[in-house]
Amino acid sequence: MTFELTFIDGRAEIVAGVDTYEQEGPMTTFFHSEGRGYADSWSSRVASFRTVDVACVRRLGDLENGDLG
């Protein structure tokens, strides 16, 4: 899946090739988990952002397969 993050300062970031995200303390972390759709001990962290800086997280679909959501 692909997610678009909008930050409080107006910038945007695309995170592709991940299955899910969750808050880990002060961070919002995106995980690749082989399509399981949830984070577990076998998941790989792909990207983390400070939660206080994130205004919005929007799922776009899977850009790798041409699905824009």
At 65, is the pLDDT very low, low, confident or very high (cuts 50, 70, 90)?
Answer: low
Q: Which amino acid is at 64?
A: E
Share of the chain above pLDDT 70, in %: 88
CATH code of the domain in which 34 resides:
2.30.30
Mean pLDDT to the nearest integer, 13-26: 95
Domain that holds residue 23: 2-65
Instruction: Please count the structural domains in the chain.
Output: 1
Q: Which of the two residues, 13 and 63, has the higher pLDDT score? A: 13
Q: What is the pLDDT of residues 30-60, one digit of tens each?
A: 999 988 888 888 999 999 999 999 999 999 9
Contact 15, 30 (CB under 8 A): yes
Contact 19, 33 (CB under 8 A): yes
Q: What is the pTM of this model?
A: 0.82
Torsion-angle region of residue 34: left (phi > 0), alpha (psi -120 to 50) or beta? left
